[in-house]
Amino acid sequence: MLVTKFDGRKQPFSKEKVIRTCLRMHASLKEARAIADKVESKAYDGITTRRILRMIFFHLKKYRPEIKHQIDLREAISLLRPKPDFERFVQLLLKEIGYEVTPNQILKGKCVEHEIDAVAKKDEEIFLVEVKHHINHHTYTGLDVCLITQARLEDLIDGFKFGLNTMKLKRALIICNTKFSDHAKTYASCKGITLIGWKMPFEHGLEQIVEKNKLYPITFLKGLDLETSERLADSGIILVKQLIEEDINKLKRRTKVSKKKLKILVEKARNALKDK
């Protein structure tokens, strides 16, 4: 039985992938296996990955009723505005996993001046950070991004040597909301570029960092309209957990969103953050 991916490619149906998706959404192993059995029994040759995901959400509601308040994480992250929302999301994520982050830097290289997304420091290493956001979450981040980032890093390292900047950069770090192509991963491994993306690194990818630390973007909440999402983001609310930490009256004044709507969103946020 073959599954049709978003780009039209076919691949064999994998029950293990269904189980892993359920586990990522905080189902127990027993529940994940039960859901995978139900999905497998209803699956058919040529079924789309989107259809399988909908089936997972449908069956998962039995074990986690709060799932009705959220959408797919991969889609939610893609719904963030590239600038400034996703960049701010990345800053919060990097800080959560131990980086000191300084955003939006302009540094002189040996050849030209560079406007970079951020500089991050961890364990005495200073990283040039390149942030890449794709609205289509099925788009791969390719080799070209790695080549450009590495070239920029090398020019800035030379700039430091010539006293043109004071930032002793060591390596590059590229973070995106999608998967990396195989060529990108091979080149990054060769050049020592750190990659963070969907399922990259395999055991500590973007989705696992988000799930482990509950860094869900505000767009994770089902029913959130575009205007409200942008008003919340413009007021500094990028994460779901930031929403429940805010005083509703103050947030109403800052965002001009009705108190009634904010109360509904806060309730959805609390449900989405519930521990299993």
Tens of pLDDT along 198-250?
A: 999 987 899 999 988 999 999 999 889 999 999 999 999 999 999 999 999 99
| Domain-embedded: residue 94 | yes
Residues 242 and 147 in one domain: no
**Has residue 191 got a pLDDT over 50?**
yes
CB 274 within 8 A of CB 25: no
Residues 55 and 102 in one domain: no
Cα distance between residue 156 and residue 158, in whole Å: 5
| Domain-embedded: residue 70 | no
Residues 112 and 180 in one domain: yes
Cα distance between residue 78 and residue 80, in whole Å: 5
Number of structural domains, the chain? 3
* Closest among 61, 81, 90 to 215, alpha carbons compared: 90
Residues 112 and 158 in one domain: yes
| Domain-embedded: residue 72 | no
| Domain-embedded: residue 69 | no
| Domain-embedded: residue 106 | yes
Residues 174 and 234 in one domain: no
Residues 52 and 150 in one domain: no
Residues 49 and 130 in one domain: no
Residues 23 and 98 in one domain: no
**Has residue 96 got a pLDDT over 70?**
yes
Cα distance between residue 107 and residue 114, in whole Å: 5
Supply the CATH number for residue 224's domain. Answer: 1.10.150
- Threshold 0.85, pTM exceeds: no
Residues 176 and 90 in one domain: yes
Residues 32 and 91 in one domain: no
Mean pLDDT along residues 35-64: 91
Residues 128 and 240 in one domain: no
Q: Which domain holds residue 237?
A: 217-272
Cα distance between residue 53 and residue 68, in whole Å: 13
Domain boundary among 212, 235, 251: 212
| Domain-embedded: residue 100 | yes
Residues 111 and 36 in one domain: no
Domain boundary among 164, 189, 212: 212
pLDDT per residue as tens digits for the range 142-175: 999 999 999 999 999 999 999 999 999 999 999 9
